[in-house]
Amino acid sequence: MDAAPIQRHVRAADLPLDRLATSSAVPHAQKVQELSRQFEAVLLRQVLRDSQKTLFPSEWTSPSTAKDIYQDMIADQLAEAISHAGSFGVARNLGRQLTRQLAPAPGPATATTPPSHD
């Protein structure tokens, strides 16, 4: 009986950031993509939490720790869902910028000279 060898496939989204950076099982492009997505989620969380704060106290709502925890949970889940959907666009643009900046510099054989304007 022939059995195919087990190949370990690690998804970037399954690793915490500290292990993601040092993992050799995840390609560099996936690391940059996941880092960008998680940054977008942090940004979205902050925006969503700030948008839920009331400016003026109301006599109709009482401060509650349970309510605050529930609102934070909603903001966390919503931020994760938006960042996973990719509809916000910050992660995509940040990923492009990081990929461009982290790409190796062109060597002498691939370097191009700008056209002269004589």
Residue with tokens 């059995």: 3
pLDDT score of 7 more than 80: no
Contacts of 25 (CB under 8 A, 6+ apart): 8, 9, 10
Per-residue pLDDT tens for 16-44? 777 777 888 788 888 888 889 989 999 99
Two tokens, residue 24: 């050799």
Give the residue, 2 or 41, on which the prediction is more confident: 41
pTM over 0.95: no
Tens of pLDDT, residue by residue over 79-118, are 999 998 988 889 999 999 988 887 766 666 555 555 555 4
Location of structure tokens 């969503």: 48
